[in-house]
Amino acid sequence: MFVILAYDVDEKRVAKVLKVARKYLVWVQNSLLEGDISSSQLSMLKMELREVTENTDRVRFYLMKGKKYMKIEDLYDGDVDSRENFIV
């Protein structure tokens, strides 16, 4: 499945959240990661994020069955899917 992860956490935990999330997803910009992962990887990611976050933090997952039904565009770079360095 294709996952977009967005987070807004206390400044003290930002680096920890990013470190955990980058094990599974590709960093796109501040507080935003994306990538194709399995259901079991998603479960592991959530478990690891629970260990480094608190219930006052905001961590949101946008789940899609796959890239077949979506198109990613960047305002300035155009069609993201066609970039050679795009890793999913």
| pLDDT score for 88 | 43
Residue 6 has pLDDT above 70, yes or no: yes
The Cα 53–Cα 49 span in angstroms is 6
* Mean pLDDT on 11-18: 96
Asked if residue 58 lies in contact with residue 8, where contact means CB atoms within 8 angstroms, the answer is yes
Backbone angles phi, psi at 49, to 5 degrees: -70, -35
Domain ranges (residues) in the chain: 2-82
Structure tokens that stand for 48 in this block: 């690891």
- For 30-45, the pLDDT digits (tens) are 999 999 999 999 999 9
Backbone angles phi, psi at 75, to 5 degrees: -55, -40
The Cα 88–Cα 1 span in angstroms is 11
Handedness of CA 15, 21, 22, 23 (dihedral sign): positive
CATH 3.30.70.240 fits 2-82, yes or no: yes
Asked if residue 34 lies in contact with residue 5, where contact means CB atoms within 8 angstroms, the answer is yes
- For 26-85, the pLDDT digits (tens) are 999 999 999 999 999 999 999 999 999 999 999 999 999 877 777 777 777 766 664 444
